[in-house]
Amino acid sequence: MLDRTQDIAASAENWLTEFARALEHPDSRTLRPLFHPDGFWRDVLALSWNLQTANGLDAILNELPVLARRVAPRSFKIDADRAPPRRVQRAGTETIEAIFGFETREGRGHGILRLIPDADDGNRLKGWTLLTALEELKGFEESIGSARPRGQSYSRDFRGPNWLDLRRAASAYADRDPTVLVVGGGQAGLSIAARLKQLSIDTLIVDREKRIGDNWRKRYHALTLHNQVQVNHLPYMPFPPNWPTYIPKDKLANWFEAYVDAMELNFWTDSGFEGGSYDAAEGRWSVVLRIGDGTTRTMHPRHVVMATGVSGIPNIPDIPTLKNFSGTVLHSSRYDDGESWKGTRAVVIGTGNSGHDIAQDLHSSGARVTLVQRSPTLITNIEPSAQLAYATYNEGTLEDNDLIATSMPLKLARRTHQMITEQSKQFDKDLLDGLKAVGFALDYGEDDTGWQFKYLTRGGGYYFNVGCSDLVARREIALRQFSDIEAFAADGVRMKNGEELAADLIILATGYRPQEVLVTRLFGEEVAARVGPIWGYGDGQELRNMYTRTGQPGLWFIAGSLAQCRINSKFLGLQIKAIEEGLL
């Protein structure tokens, strides 16, 4: 008789065998018995060349047979090099989970199968979630591992160019244009450039900062990452094992510099992207770069990847009376260090991560700080609550955990985060009660889906507490509501109840404008309309216009956390490679 482990493995193997047999002549009749009525199939390029999710048996059966006939998926088998089939809890449901490999006419992929019993069919185990994700294109595998480039041979030309000469020439672009121009040199830009490098796609990163990593280095003095080191590796080159759990901004910035050198990425600093236009007949862009020495360079890449973050344009709200204030007004993006404001009176408007961190930094430097709340804000302690979303990354391999993250359909991810939010409320009860007592307005995201869905839908609206909430609850940092402000005056803020708040400094921690604003500014209204909304979910189950083809040929977007950029840069790179090779 099979023991529990063998039974789990056999169940997954049997399902994959039946699935492969059904796909030999795919139709709804042969596939219907395999899927749970409330099943999900997420395909990431492997069969559809899209990032797409089908939810429900009818939706799966409408899509899967058609796409399977096109690419002939086959060779489905448990991957012996990955985590073995196991029984786990996902979105509150006990399920058998198995990682498998497969191939199609065009490529090779990995997937995750989850099985649950169907109570209406004698508790037969059926596919609850299925992921099929493209890993590599046949004939165009990445230049890593056994396929690593050989470099210079043993018989060398001692008068010819050495490695450094070749790197300098490649980065200069004196006599050619890049195939791909990546705008922005943060984690998004580095991740996609590294992926394209391994796919032999000529890629140039441009960034307006004077030094690689300055997009982190120039942020406020006390900043560290709010999630843990094991989640945040860049592609191909994990952080050293002795790195701290929470990475300081300057350490990360220096790592970016080392990463560019080690991965041999072409990177122009002090180079602003001024915009461009697309020639549909030629299939190329005409873009203008403004170099730091005042000159300009026109280039003609086939692809432009916008890697400027969820948005790079500060949101400066229209506060009619703010012009009356005679002190200093700064957007949070220009704030540096509280030591410059020691002994002053500061008002920080905005209660997201930046607003809280800046308020705490000013308080620590001896400023008298008032935090002004504009709208209800989600508060969660950085440990353990904020880390619950990354629990899978505390064990297993990075590759397995990235695949698990990719495999979760939106509906189940929302359910998972609702559960995490409820757990966080219990962990953080004393803090939350203390904040309510001083008048802080709390919320927990749409349908209580928590901080991560606030980020995915609006890019902010939450704070990972590293001490500032405690200061607010203890009234060491004062709290006021923006709705209670009557007007700004030369020397500070006048409240509706007659209270006067004297101030020397006002910080606008008011976030950033949607990325569509930047697209309009750089490419014009027609291109912006063609692309449409960027980020958030709209009516679909995938992030809008992110990591995938858009309505504007040759224009791509990548943004998000280090983990999001690491995971999704692979799929963005594969699409660009497929287009360049005539497969897509």
Of the pLDDT bands very low, low, confident and very high (cuts 50, 70, 90), residue 58 is very high
- pLDDT confidence of residue 232: 97
**537/529 Cα distance (integer angstroms):** 17
Reading the block at residue 310, the tokens are: 């969820």
Got the DSSP string for 391-402?
A: GGGGSS-HHHHH
Are 295 and 474 in contact, with CB atoms under 8 Å apart? no
**What is the CB neighbour count within 10 angstroms for residue 397?**
12
Question: What distances in angstroms separate CA 402 from CA 102, 146, 233, 406, 570, one per listed residue?
Answer: 18, 23, 11, 6, 11
Over range 177-204, report the average pLDDT: 97
In this prediction, residue 337 has a pLDDT band, given cuts at 50, 70 and 90, of confident
With a cut of 60, say whether residue 1 has pLDDT above it.
no
pLDDT at 5 over 70: no
Amino acid at 13: E
Express each pLDDT in 355-369 by its tens digit.
999 999 999 999 999
Output the pLDDT for position 2: 34
What is the reported pLDDT for 158? 76
Other beta carbons within 10 angstroms of residue 298's beta carbon come to 11
Does residue 324 sit in the same domain as residue 448? yes
Domain boundary among 137, 162, 186: 137
% of the chain surpassing 70 pLDDT:
97
- Give how far Cα 32 sits from Cα of 18, 58, 123, 424, Å: 11, 9, 15, 39
What totals of helices (H) and strands (E) does the chain contain, helices first? 16, 25
Q: Do 121 and 95 reside in the same domain of the chain? A: yes
- Choosing from 137, 162, 194, the residue where a domain stops is 137
Classify residue 545: in a domain, yes or no.
no
* Cα 300 → chain centroid: 28
pLDDT band at 265 (very low <50, low <70, confident <90, very high): very high
Mean pLDDT (whole number) for 161-169: 92
pLDDT of residue 148: 74
- 204 pLDDT above the threshold of 90: yes
**Any idea what DSSP says for residue 301?**
-
pLDDT at 458 exceeding the cut of 70: yes
CA atoms of 324 and 27, how far apart (whole Å)? 70
pLDDT given at position 570 = 98
- Are residues 403 and 437 in contact, defined by beta-carbon separation less than 8 angstroms? no
Residue 161: inside a domain: no
493 and 561: one domain?
A: no
Predicted local confidence at residue 77, as pLDDT? 97
166 domain-assigned: no
Exposed, middle or buried: residue 179 (CB in 10 Å: 0-12, 13-18, 19+)?
Answer: middle
pLDDT on residue 126: 96
What is the domain count for the chain?
3
pLDDT band with cut points at 50, 70 and 90 for residue 65: very high
Q: What is the pLDDT of residue 143?
A: 80
Task: Return the number of other C-beta atoms located less than 10 Å from residue 383's C-beta.
Answer: 15
CB contact burial 516-527 (16+ within 10 A = b; e otherwise) = bbbbbebbeeeb
Q: Are residues 223 and 327 in the same domain?
A: no
Q: What is the pLDDT of residues 8-36, one digit of tens each?
A: 999 999 999 999 999 999 998 999 999 99
Distance CA 176, CA 381 (A): 51
Do 487 and 367 share a domain, yes or no? yes
Confidence check: pLDDT of 339 > 50: yes
Supply φ then ψ for residue 347, to 5 degrees.
-120, 125
Residue 219 pLDDT class (50, 70, 90 cuts): confident
Question: Is 423 strand, coil or helix?
Answer: helix
> Do 286 and 338 belong together in one domain?
no
The pTM (predicted TM-score) of the whole model is 0.93
> Measured between alpha carbons, how far is 67 from 71 in angstroms, rounded to an integer?
7
> Is residue 310's pLDDT more than 60?
yes
Distance CA 262, CA 237 (A): 9
Cis peptide before 384 (omega within 30 of 0): yes
Please tell me whether residues 364 and 459 are part of one structural domain.
Answer: yes
The last residue of one of the domains, among 110, 137, 164, is 137
How far is Cα 315 from Cα 500, in angstroms, rounded to an integer? 26
Structure confidence at residue 156 (pLDDT): 66
| Residue 157, domain member (yes or no) | no
Terminal-residue alpha carbon distance, the chain: 49
Q: Can you tell me whether residue 111 is helix, strand or coil? A: strand
CATH code where residue 8 lies? 3.10.450.50
* pLDDT tens digits along 144-161: 777 777 666 555 677 788
* pLDDT, tens only, 92-148: 999 999 999 999 999 999 999 999 999 999 999 999 999 999 999 999 999 877 777
- Dist CA 169 CA 486 (whole Å): 60
Q: Three-class SS string for 330-388?
A: EEHHHCCCHHHHCCCEEEEECCCHHHHHHHHHHHHCCCEEEEEECCCEEEEECCCHHHH
pLDDT for residue 560 is more than 80: yes
177: exposed, middle or buried (C-beta count within 10 Å: 0-12, 13-18, 19+)?
A: middle
Residue 563 dihedral angles phi and psi, to the nearest 5°: -65, -45
Q: Residue 388 domain-assigned? A: yes
- Residue 6 pLDDT: 59
Residue 85: closest CA among 15, 22, 33 = 15
**What per-residue confidence (pLDDT) applies to 155?**
58
Q: Is the pLDDT of residue 574 over 80?
A: yes
Q: ∠508-513-518 over CA atoms, to 5°? A: 135
- Clarify whether residues 345 and 430 are in a common domain: yes
- Is there a single domain that holds both residue 501 and residue 400? yes
The verdict on 290 and 326 lying in the same domain is no
Residue 535 lies inside a defined structural domain of this protein: no
Question: Looking at residue 239, what DSSP letter applies?
Answer: P
What number is the average pLDDT over the span 447-455?
93
- Cα 333 to Cα 328: distance, rounded to the nearest angstrom: 14
pLDDT digits (tens, 9 = 90+) for 36-55: 999 999 999 999 999 999 99
**Given this model, what pLDDT does residue 88 score?**
96
Compute the distance between CA of residue 208 and CA of residue 45 in angstroms, rounded to an integer. Answer: 33
Domain of 292 in residue numbering reads as: 173-312+518-530+552-580
Tell me whether residue 163 is in a domain: no
Provide the pLDDT for residue 28.
87
Determine, yes or no, domain membership for 64.
yes
Say yes or no: 22 and 129 in one domain. Answer: yes
Domain match, 92 and 205 both:
no
- Partners of 109 in the β-ladder: 102, 134
For residue range 478-492, what is the model confidence (pLDDT) as tens digits? 999 999 999 999 999
Specify the CATH number for the domain of residue 368: 3.50.50.60
CA 219 to each of CA 118, 215, 307, 333, 337: distance values in angstroms, whole numbers, following the listed order: 52, 7, 18, 7, 9
Q: What is the mean pLDDT of the chain?
A: 94
